Amino acid sequence: MAISPAMRALIQAPDDPIGRQFIPDPAELITAEHESADPIGDDALSPVKGVVHRYPDRALLKPLLVCPVYCRFCFRREHVGPDGGVLTDAELEAAYAWFAAHPAVSEIILTGGDPLMLSPRRLGAIIRRLSAMPHVQTIRIHSRVPVAAPERLTTELAAALETDTSIWLAIHANHASEFTAAVRPALRRLQLPLLGQSVLLRGVNDSVPALEALFRAMIAHRIKPYYLHQIDAAPGTARFHVPIEDGRRLLEGLRGRVTGLAWPTYVLDIPGGYGKVPIGPDYRQDPGTVRDIHGHRHRIETPSR
Ligand SMILES: *Cc1c(COP(=O)(O)O)cnc(C)c1O
Ligand code: SF4
């Protein structure tokens, strides 16, 4: 387990929205029937160590498995940890060679673990190598550091992330209170386009007011909510599970009341490695009708082909 000082300061009780995310619970020792150590089938999709390739135009690079905090609901909870998983120089070279041999992969997504736990020197070296590949158009970094350990977003880190390649930062946050006063100046130092990703979690953000506050906090920090994830079925995570029907109703509760900027796509990573798909809510009823935000049905006349 690990809880960063920034997150520790927010915990008033083990069962509050921040405590629940990071404090171990005996319920984690029980693996439910539908749970798996590799819930979205990543292992079978790894051509070389540290690389996961599921979609034609993009692939993951996991340079390390260390995180600033260890989230109890993490889908990689069987893999991440403080004792390692940093790719050696030789393993990184093998990953670069794989990317160089796959020109269709135009986006490289740095994840882990948490890439912003690398030193600016190491991260900068990775960014430079990837940027030098002519077919790499986009580098995306997924990280919990901006909320969990904002003090790591230094000017040295900002310099390490400087590249002419399009570079995006996707920030993982699940509760509005994670946006402490240190987050805004830390993000301003980076000067990157920012996306938000969250997991729908029982007892953390499974209410309309909690989701509204979370997405509004993101917008206030120039972060565009990107994905709201249905939780992946990693072992011992059942206590966080919110049924998909409830998730759809929660999002319906936001529609129309909250700026469209704050609306994420609710996604499920289909167990077994079949990829992420949007899971609603869906306002189209049948080919001829839509529902409005109050639930009233309307016929729509669309010209036929
Ligand atoms: C989630 C994921 C991605 C990124 O998917 P987007 O929908 O582009 O955010 C890429 N590769 C793998 C293996 C993934 O699991
Ligand atoms: S920071 Fe991300 S990878 Fe690390 S434990 Fe949390 S959810 Fe898992």
- Confidence check: pLDDT of 303 > 80: no
| The pLDDT of residue 305 | 72
User: Distance between CA atoms of 289 and 11, rounded to whole angstroms?
Assistant: 47
Q: What is the mean pLDDT of residues 57-61?
A: 98
Annotated active-site residue 71? The verdict is yes
The whole-model pTM stands at 0.97
Say whether pLDDT at 78 is over 90: no
144 lines ligand 2 (CB under 6 A): yes
Q: Is the pLDDT of residue 83 over 90?
A: no
Stretch 76-103: mean pLDDT: 93
Structure confidence at residue 125 (pLDDT): 98
Q: Which pLDDT tens digit goes with each residue over 189-245?
A: 999 999 999 999 999 999 999 999 999 999 999 999 999 999 999 999 999 999 999
Please state, rounded to an integer, the average pLDDT across all residues of the chain. 96
The predicted structure's pLDDT at residue 203 = 98
Ligand 1 pocket, mutate which of 107, 139, 141, 276 (most atoms under 8 A from CB)? 276
Closest approach atom of ligand 2 to CA 142? 2
pLDDT of 287 reads 82
Name the β-bridge partners of 263.
Answer: none
C-alpha to C-alpha distance for 67 and 113, rounded to whole angstroms? 5
Q: Give residue 228 CA to ligand 1 midpoint distance, Å.
A: 13
> Which two structure tokens, joined as six digits, stand for 251?
């999002």
Q: What are phi and psi of 220, to 5 degrees?
A: -65, -20
Q: Tell me the CA–centroid distance for residue 280 and ligand 2, in Å.
A: 25
Ligand 2 neighbour 80 (Cβ under 6 A): yes
Which ligand has the minimum distance to the alpha carbon of residue 41?
A: 1
Res 82 pLDDT > 90: no
Closest ligand 1 atom to residue 52 Cα is 13
CB 42 within 8 A of CB 273: yes
What tens digit of pLDDT does each residue of 112-141 get? 899 999 999 999 999 999 999 999 999 999
Q: Does 302 have pLDDT greater than 80?
A: no
The predicted-structure confidence for 32-50, as pLDDT tens digits, reads as follows 999 998 998 888 899 999 9
Q: With a cut of 80, say whether residue 152 has pLDDT above it.
A: yes
Q: What is the pLDDT of residue 25?
A: 96
Percent of the chain whose pLDDT exceeds 70: 100
Tell me the best of 74, 78, 198, 269 to mutate to test the pocket of ligand 2, counting ligand atoms within 8 Å of each CB and taking the most.
Answer: 74
Mutate to test the pocket of ligand 1, among 38, 60, 141, 274 (most ligand atoms within 8 A of CB): 60
Contact 136, 106 (CB under 8 A): yes
Mean pLDDT of the 151-171 span:
98
The yes-or-no answer on residue 76 being catalytic is: yes
Orientation angle between helical segments 244-254 and 208-220, nearest 10 degrees: 60
Residue 168 contacts residue 141 (beta carbons within 8 Å): yes
Provide the 3-class DSSP secondary structure of residue 201: coil
Alpha carbons 99 and 105: distance in angstroms, whole number:
7
For residue 55, how far is its CA from the centre of ligand 1 (angstroms)? 7
Mean pLDDT across 160-185: 98
Architecture of the domain delimited by 5-299? Alpha-Beta Barrel (3.20)
Is the pLDDT assigned to residue 304 strictly greater than 80? no
Q: Taking 90 as the threshold, does the pLDDT of residue 156 lie above it?
A: yes
- Protein residue with its CA nearest to atom 12 in ligand 1: 54
DSSP 18-39: HHHHHS--GGGGPPPTT--SST
Q: For residue 53, report the distance from its CA to the centre of ligand 1, in Å.
A: 9
> What confidence tens digit (pLDDT) does each residue in 240-283 have?
999 999 999 999 999 989 999 999 999 999 998 899 999 999 99
Nearest ligand atom owner, CA of 170: 1
171-182 pLDDT per residue, tens: 999 999 999 999
Per-residue pLDDT, 117: 97
Tell me, what's the pLDDT at 40? Answer: 87
What is the predicted pLDDT for the residue at 279? Answer: 98
Q: How confident is the model at residue 301, as a pLDDT?
A: 83
Distance CA 237, CA 230 (A): 12
